[in-house]
Amino acid sequence: MSHGSTKLNKNDISSEIDLHVNEVTVAYNNGHVALFDTTFDLGAGTICALVGVNGSGKSTLFKTIMGFLTPTRGSVTIGGKPVQVAQKQNMVAYIPQAEDVDWAFPVSVMDVVLMGRYGYMNFLRIPRATDLEIAIESLRRVNMLDYKERQIGELSGGQKKRVFLARALAQRGRIVLLDEPFSGVDVQTEAAIIELLRELRADEHLILVSTHDLGLVPSFCDQVVIINRTVLAAGPTHDTFTQENLARAFGGTLRDLRIDHTDAPDGTSNEFRVLSDDEEPLIFGHDGRLVDHWHPGIDEEESK
Amino acid sequence: MNLSYLIEPFQYRFMVEAMLMAALVGGTCAVLSCYLVLKGWSLMGDAVSHAVLPGIVLAYIVGAPLAVGAFLAGLLCASGTGWITNHSRLKGDAVMGVVFTGLFALGLVMFTKVTTDVHLNHILFGSLLGIERSDMLQAVIAATLTLVILAVVRKDILLYLFDANQARAVGLNTTFLHYLFLALLSLTIVAALQAVGIILTVAMLIVPGCIGLLLSDRFGRMTAIASGAAIFSAIAGTYLSYFLNGETGACIVLTQAIILTLAALFGPKYGILFRARAARRAAAGREQ
Amino acid sequence: MIELLLTPLHYEYMIKAIVVSGVIGGVCGLLSCFVTLKGWSLMGDALSHAIVPGVAVAYLVGLPFALGAFASGLLAAVVMGVVKSKTRIREDAVIGIVFTTFFAAGVLMISLFPSNISLKTIVLGNILGIADSDIIQMLAISAVALLVLVLKWKDLLLFAFDPNQAQSIGLNTTRLNLMLLILLAATAVAALQAVGAVLVIAMLVTPGATAYQLTDRFGRMMLLACGMGIVTSMLGAYISYFLNGSTGGCIVCLQTLVFLMAFFFAPKYGIVAARRKARRTTDALLISGDAHPVPALRGL
């Protein structure tokens, strides 16, 4: 499998794939400043959640990291190189939101996965044996090999997601960007995606997930960046994903339930609060820190 | 009705030339139409084919090949539309409407001030049967160039149309691809103008792609079907126009429209009749 | 000099052309506000081409041209609706297919049955040589369209902005949709004589697009677009006297010119103003302490 990623040697990966967002400001042509003075660093072997309300600049930040938007000030570097250079080396893989894809497009599952290999192919993009092998291997890894000749619109929501995950795997990108990966996905696929992301993390990838499923974040992300037109907080999940920071980022948009066991016999305060955006709830103890959260799906999935 | 009557058109050199020309132009347009239809850019073909007019007039004034002027004006329309859309609060379709009509109007005004031997009627409606050698040569060059370049970059452009972010992520230069595609579109339109004229070029840039889309789920097959249908329509339309004694371009487009109607009705998977039957079967199945 | 500038006004046909252009320009201007906001530009383009076979048939059998044009425009709209709902083809492609097919049918008909209409007149318009009976048809169409717009513009505005809301307060959205479509077809028919099939779309988009760059209020937008339609159309017709032809070309060139001015120099949404705004906002955000809500974020 290793001969596909000739350009990267496993030993120098960790030094090469840190993402460095430095004082980035992005203004659109209509004069709207979507993001200003945004700064954070992330390193290899990390799953980081990018959290914020709609219009907080999440997708602007994604597009900037992808090099689709050029910052009016500041810079984004990947392994010390500008985004464009990093992309030429196939370092950034991207998994689009389901709404952004035209599912009637006449391409098969295999075609889509091979699109991840374009950067390695020759000028005419004719797949070599290696490319085909890697594409098949990637499909097998997401359990979609049986569907490889299907037209993409004929798949279920979860299957579609897995195909794009396979494309990212086939690309061998060391940084993987996922845009709302859990929207419109069944619980089983959700668990499968998280499991795959964990494997990628163990393999020294850097994974950046934009999501509004707050309750899921603590279960698989070790870093969190909370933004609202700039970075409000960034750091390890346990320190950053606090009630206070989330309240600042989301204001009144979350449901806030306070559950207080005043009848507790030993007199200790067992008060905890539940923050929910109507997906999975987020539960805080009395110190404003996270209470042990549930791990969705994984256990049931494995027991099958 | 005897056979010699039916093969009569093939005995005239100008008829055979017209058929070959129409087939070449129609086939090239058909390949591009697949991309346009998938991207939702049907209006783009419409806009660019009108916008070439001032380029043609200007090229005539300075004595350059008309194709060069048309090509540049087409590019100006496409890139100008993109730029204005990005910098204003207007919807893209409105901007395109403003830009291409503005250019077309400019072309008309310029036209009235220049005495040319270019006939406005020929630009608007084409003149397949009376096409000149030099024009034919230009069209052949433009069409061949387009097909060769497309053959080389077709996978990149397909990826760009399907998922621009991914195209960028694998290191493709999407801005370059965007303008390359628009350039190819302008080039094709230049070739087609001589044959069928501005307005019917628009049809040839939409209809074959739709035929392909109705009959196939794979891009390669879709392109093959589209160009096959277009080439057949080109030859059949020209042939029919000989007997009807009507506009050749219009006959070609109407033949395409008939094929499209047949595909929409009887297509094996997406045809209206097939779907109706499938729905009936499903309903019957549920009742049992 | 003044003598020269006044010459066009000595001719009755010029005065007629200027007045008729102004009326049509005004009505198209009003309608263009709905077309730009609703994203119906392609629809306008399509209808103006799709009426060509109707015009051909009307001339052949000796009916008023407006009647044939109108009928064929509506037929095209119906065909589009059917094809869109029954196939997997995108809406823009459906519109493109239908109008080019209609146009091709018109071209074929005219070439098969030569009569006293030329295709060139239909496609490019010829208001300088317009017959009195045609003027009456155009003015009648304009008057009806204007009346409907004045009476129902608020309903149409709600329909363009939020069809669901329109439905929920009990408006018949199907009827409103049809009304807008009929208005579009009717004005396309009227404008056909003035500027020709190809440039009708400019009259139905450019004034609205220009006004949208200039204002945020719909009432004001309608006034601006209508005014711009009237002035550019009259002026264009007047100028075409000196250019010896192509009235449509002159009108649309003027409209595009006005649009470009608005695009660059509009006080709020112009490109110059937007640049200034982006610079100011960035500076303001960076100067206020707001920019550093979390002091030390580096080296996580």
CB atoms within 10 A of CB A251: 10
Which tokens in the block code for residue B127?
């003149």
Q: Which helix (H) or strand (E) holds C259?
A: helix C247-265
In a domain, A212, yes or no: yes
Q: Are residues A19 and A115 in the same domain?
A: no
Of residues B37, B250, B264, nearest to C104 (C-beta)? B250
Residue type at position A113: V
What is the 8-class DSSP label of residue A92? Answer: E
Q: Residue B191: which of B131, B149, B240 has the closest Cα? A: B131
Q: Does the beta-carbon distance from A30 to B89 stay under 8 Å?
A: yes
Same domain, A281 and A146: no
C116, pLDDT greater than 80: no
Mean pLDDT confidence for A44-62:
88
Report the residue from C119, C208, C245 with minimal CB separation from B125.
C119
Burial (CB count <10 Å: 0-12, 13-18, 19+), residue C162: exposed
Domain count, chain B: 1
Residue of C nearest to B256 (CA): C101
Round to whole Å and give the CA distance between B188 and B194: 11
Query: What are A275's strand-pairing partners?
Result: A256, A282
Q: Does B145 have pLDDT greater than 90? A: yes
How far CA C44 is from CA of A36, B37, B193, B206, C139, in Å, comes to: 41, 20, 23, 18, 20
Phi first, then psi, for residue A24 (nearest 5°) are -85, 130
What value, to the nearest 5°, has the Cα angle with vertex A137 and ends A132 and A142? Answer: 130
Residue A104 with chain C: CB contacts under 8 Å: 88
pLDDT of residue A301: 38
The residues on B that touch A, with CB distances below 8 Å, are 38, 86-89, 152, 155-156, 158-159, 162-172, 213, 216-219, 221-222
Q: What are the DSSP calls for B217-276, one per residue?
A: SSHHHHHHHHHHHHHHHHHHHHHHHHHHT--HHHHHHHHHHHHHHHHHHH-TTT-HHHHH
C residues 82-141 lying closer than 8 A (beta carbon) to A: 88
Instruction: Find out whether C191 and C48 touch, Cβ atoms under 8 Å.
Output: yes
- What are the residues whose beta carbons fall under 8 Å from the beta carbon of A132, sequence distance 6 or more? A114
A178, A164: one domain: no
Average pLDDT over residues C91-113: 90
CATH number, residue B261: 1.10.3470.10
pLDDT at res. A11: 43
- Residues whose CB falls within 8 Å of the CB of residue A81, separated by 6 or more in sequence, listed in order: A89
pLDDT at A284 over 80: no
> Is there a contact between A29 and C269 if contact means CB atoms under 8 Å apart?
no
B vs C, Cβ pairs < 8 A, gives 197
Nearest-CA distance A39 → chain C (Å): 7
**Residue A207 forms beta bridges with which residues?**
A47, A176
- Which of A104, A223, A232 is opposite residue C294, by nearest beta carbon? A232
Residues A275 and A253 in one domain: yes
Most confident of A247-261, B119-133, C21-35, C39-53: C21-35
Indicate whether A157 and A277 sit together in one domain: no
Can you give the pLDDT at residue C293? 41
Residues in chain C closer than 8 A to A25 (CB atoms): 282, 285-286
Nearest to A33 among C281, C297, C300 (CB): C281
Partner-chain contact A124 B155, CB within 8 Å: yes
Complex ipTM > 0.90: no
Contact C29, C227 (CB under 8 A): yes
**Inter-chain CB proximity A171 and B169 less than 8 Å:** yes
Q: Is residue A4 part of a domain?
A: no
With CB atoms and an 8 Å threshold, state whether A67 touches B168: yes
Q: How far is residue A65's CA from residue A76's CA, in Å, rounded to a whole number?
A: 7
- Nearest CB to C248 within list B89, B90, B105: B105
C90: which 2 tokens? 């995108």
In this prediction, residue A260 carries a pLDDT of 61
Please judge whether A39 and C286 are an interchain contact, meaning their C-beta atoms are less than 8 angstroms apart. Answer: no
CA torsion C4-C5-C11-C15 (nearest 10°) is 180
Alpha-carbon distances, residue C52 vs B40, B149, C211, C248 (angstroms): 25, 37, 30, 17
Of the pLDDT bands very low, low, confident and very high (cuts 50, 70, 90), residue A86 is confident
Q: How far is CA B19 from the centre of its chain?
A: 17
Which residue in chain B has the smallest CA separation from A108? B218
Tokens representing C168? Answer: 């929920």
Cα–Cα distance for residue pair B270/B275, rounded to 1 Å: 7
Secondary structure of residue B155 in the 3-state scheme: helix
Contact at CB, B109 and C243, closer than 8 angstroms:
yes
Residue A49 lies in a domain: yes
Contact criterion met (CB < 8 Å) for B98 and C256: yes
Task: For CA atoms A74, A75, A76, A79, give the dihedral sign.
Answer: negative
Residue of A nearest to C275 (CA): A31
Same domain? For A63 and A181 the reply is: yes
Whether C208 maps to a domain, the answer reads yes
Q: Which domain holds residue A160?
A: 100-172
As for how many domains chain C has, the answer is 1
How far is the C-alpha of C110 from the C-alpha of C244, rounded, in Å? 27
Q: Domain limits at B177?
A: 19-287
B37, B101, B108 member nearest C93 (Cβ): B37
Residue B7 counted as domain residue? no
- Cβ–Cβ gap A125/B218 under 8 Å: no
When the pLDDT of each residue in chain C is averaged and rounded to a whole number, the result is: 85
Instruction: Check if C32 contacts B (Cβ < 8 Å).
Output: no
- Would the pLDDT of A82 be above 50? yes
Q: Name, in order, each residue with C-beta under 8 angstroms of B133's C-beta and a sequence gap of 6 or more.
A: none
DSSP A294: P
Contact B250, C108 (CB under 8 A): yes
**pLDDT over 60 (residue A8):** no
- Cα gap B18→B237, rounded to integer Å: 11
Query: How many A/B residue pairs have CB atoms within 8 Å?
Result: 81
Q: pLDDT exceeding 70 applies to what percent of chain A?
A: 79
**Alpha carbon of C102: minimum distance to chain A alpha carbons (Å):** 27
pLDDT over 90 (residue A292): no
CB contact under 8 A, C278 and A37: no
- Is B46–C45 a contact, with Cβ atoms under 8 angstroms apart? yes
Dist CA A198 CA A191 (whole Å): 11
d(C-alpha A37, C-alpha C195), whole Å: 52
Under the banding of pLDDT at 50, 70 and 90, the label for residue B99 is: very high
Chain C: closest CA distance from residue A155 (Å): 17
Flag whether pLDDT at B239 surpasses 80.
Answer: yes
* Residue A31 falls inside a structural domain: yes
Spatial neighbors of A261 by CB under 8 A, at least 6 apart, are: A270, A271
Distance from CA of A106 to the nearest CA of C (A): 12
pLDDT at position A296 is 46
C88 and B CB contact within 8 Å: yes
| pLDDT at C260 (0 to 100) | 94
In the numeric block, which tokens belong to residue A231? 């970075």
Q: How far is Cα A14 from Cα A204, in angstroms, rounded to an integer?
A: 7
Is C293 part of a structural domain of the chain? no
CA dist B35 and B157 (Å) reads 8
Determine whether the interchain pair B90/C36 forms a contact, defined as Cβ–Cβ distance below 8 Å. yes
CB of C191 within 8 Å of a chain B CB? The answer is no
* End-to-end C-alpha distance for chain C, whole angstroms: 78
Touching subunits for chain C (3+ Cβ pairs under 8 A): A, B
Residue A296 domain flag: no
- Segments of A83-203 assigned E as strands: 92-95, 175-179
In whole angstroms, what is the distance from residue A197 CA to residue C95 CA? 44
Whole-number Å distance between alpha carbons of B6 and B16: 14
- Contact: B272, C86; criterion CB under 8 Å: yes
Higher pLDDT, residue A88 or B231: B231
Q: Nearest CA to CA, how far is C295 from chain B (Å)? A: 32
CA atoms within a 13 Å half-sphere pointing along the CA-CB vector of A27: 19
Q: Over 70: is that where the pLDDT of C37 sits?
A: yes
Residue A3 lies in a domain: no
- Give the contacts of B106 (CB within 8 A, at least 6 positions apart): B53, B54, C249, C253, C256
Flag whether A254 is in a domain. yes
Determine the residue of chain B that is closest to C215 in CA distance: B89
A196 burial level (CB within 10 Å; 0-12, 13-18, 19+): buried
Q: How far apart are CA C247 and CA B108, in angstroms?
A: 9
Give the containing element (helix H, strand E) for B10.
none
Query: Which chains sit next to B, with 3 or more Cβ pairs under 8 A?
Result: A, C
pLDDT recorded at residue B164: 86
Indicate if A206 and A162 belong to the same structural domain: no
Q: Is there a domain that residue B39 lies in?
A: yes
Query: What CATH number corresponds to the domain at position A71?
Result: 3.40.50.300
Question: Quick one: what percent of chain B has pLDDT higher than 90?
Answer: 38
Q: What angle do CA B268, B270, B272 make, to 5 degrees?
A: 95
Q: Which residues, at least 6 apart from C267, have a Cβ–Cβ distance to it below 8 Å?
A: C214, C273
- B83 found inside a domain: yes
Q: Are A112 and A64 in a shared domain?
A: no
* DSSP 8-state assignment for residue A151: B
**Rounded to whole angstroms, how far apart are CA atoms C238 and C11?**
11
Q: What is the mean pLDDT of residues C197-220?
A: 90
Cβ neighbourhood burial of C19 (10 Å; 0-12, 13-18, 19+): middle
C residues 141-180 lying closer than 8 A (beta carbon) to B: none
Confidence band, pLDDT 50/70/90 cuts, at residue C66: confident
Chain C residue numbers with beta carbons less than 8 Å from the beta carbon of B249 are 104, 107
- Contact at CB, B222 and A67, closer than 8 angstroms: no
Interchain pair B166, A115: CB under 8 A: yes
Cα-only R_g, chain B? 20
CATH, residue C193: 1.10.3470.10
A66 has pLDDT over 70: yes
Q: Is residue A300 part of a domain?
A: no
| Domain span including residue C148 | 2-287
CA angle A277, A278, A281 (to 5 degrees): 75
Minimal C-alpha gap between C265 and chain A (Å): 13
| Shortest CA gap C281–chain B (Å) | 17
Confidence grade of residue A255 (pLDDT, cut at 50, 70, 90): low
Measured CA distances, A127 to A110, A114, B220, C62, C137 (Å):
11, 8, 15, 64, 64
A149 shares a domain with A39? no
- The backbone torsions φ and ψ at residue A188, rounded to the nearest 5 degrees and listed phi first, read -65, -45
- Tell me if residue B159 falls in helix, strand or coil: helix
Strand partners, A51: A226
* Interchain pair A111, B219: CB under 8 A: yes
Distance, in Å, from the CA atom of C59 to the CA atom of A240, rounded to the nearest integer, reads: 77
- Is the CB of B43 less than 8 angstroms away from the CB of C96? yes
Q: Is residue B96 part of a domain?
A: yes
Chain B residue closest in CA terms to A30: B87
Chain C neighbors of A45, CB-CB under 8 A: none
Residue of chain B minimizing CA distance to C32: B94
In this model, does residue A254 exceed pLDDT 80?
Answer: no
Residue B2 lies in a domain: no
- Provide the terminal-to-terminal Cα distance of chain A, rounded to the nearest Å: 29
Residues A86 and A181 in one domain: yes
Q: Give the number of domains in chain A.
A: 3
pLDDT at A215: 83
For residues B36 and B44, is the Cβ–Cβ distance under 8 A? yes
The Cα-based distances of C148 to C31, C36, C70, C156, C162 in angstroms read 11, 19, 17, 10, 20
Boundary-marking domain end, from A241, A262, A277: A241
Q: Are residues A18 and A84 in the same domain?
A: yes
